[in-house]
Amino acid sequence: MKTVMRYLSLFAVIFILISCAGGSKSEKKDKGVSLDEHFQLAFTATERGNLEEAVSEYQKGLKLDPKNAKAHLNLGIVYGRQGKWKLEISEYKKAIGIDRNFAEPHYNLGVAYNDRGNLNEATAQYQKALQINPNYVEAHNNLGNIHFRKGRMDEALSEYQKTIQIRPNYAKGYYNIGNVYRRKGKIEEAIASFQHALEINPQYGEAHYNLAVIYYERQEFGLAIEHADQAGKLGMVVDPKLLERLKPYR
């Protein structure tokens, strides 16, 4: 049967969870509210889904400290969640202009450009993030995803392998390695990689799904049913054709 290669792109932005404030600037006040407090109010508003309030608080904080790179980064992320991608990109660029050694805005720019379909610029930004921080796991992973999408399996595999070298318990790295091996026709290696991902995260629905497809193709129907059922329980939409073909073996 024809199967669809599933893989997690993980083009997630990185939200800075630490204080935006730094040095004496945190002592400045805006109607009695410090920069740090504006940041906390903005972060809480973002968690509640009140993005307009979050924007307002970051903007107030930036009036106190216009050169706060982290605040520009987080404001850009909120704009991105609002779908205001031009403002999003503008804030990331401001953060970079303030702090050339700040890897996160390069990474988030990569995510933003990827969302717009500009894979070349996304690649350039991930590479810049990695020049600053060679151990940036998510940047390696997303760079690997771009190579995968472009059919450059060796380059994708190299990036994914770096993710698990840096972070051995990175389940998504093993999962993506499994997808590369599957695309290369190295099925035993693919199975081992998906299984390793599940050892780290037993709730990894996509890994269960891919194992279900592989075991079906190998006519190991018991294992195919087991993993298909697990994938379904974890919220994956399992191909109805696969479920139908497994019915006689239940």
pLDDT tens for each residue of the chain, 250 residues long: 333 333 333 345 655 544 455 433 444 444 578 888 998 999 899 899 999 999 999 999 999 999 999 999 999 999 999 999 999 999 999 999 999 999 999 999 999 999 999 999 999 999 999 999 999 999 999 999 999 999 999 999 999 999 999 999 999 999 999 999 999 999 999 999 999 999 999 999 999 999 999 999 999 999 999 999 999 999 999 999 999 999 999 9
| CATH architecture of the region 32-134 | Alpha Horseshoe (1.25)
Give the Cα separation of 75 and 192 in Å (integer): 41
pLDDT of residue 33: 82
Query: Maximum CA pair distance of the chain?
Result: 71
Q: Whole-structure pTM over 0.85, yes or no? A: yes
Residue labelled with tokens 């006519």: 219
CA dihedral 212, 218, 221, 226 (to 10 degrees): -30
pLDDT of residue 31: 52
Q: Is 30 helix (H, G, I), strand (E, B) or coil?
A: strand
pLDDT of residue 14: 59
The answer to whether the CB of 160 falls within 8 A of the CB of 173 is: yes
Residue labelled with tokens 């599940």: 198
Residue labelled with tokens 């608080």: 57
pLDDT of residue 186: 98
pLDDT of residue 35: 84
> What's the Cα-to-Cα distance from 37 to each of 17, 32, 47, 58, rounded to whole Å?
13, 10, 15, 10
The answer to whether the CB of 215 falls within 8 A of the CB of 195 is: no
> What's the Cα-to-Cα distance from 193 to each of 81, 160, 206, rounded to whole Å?
33, 11, 12
pLDDT of residue 212: 98
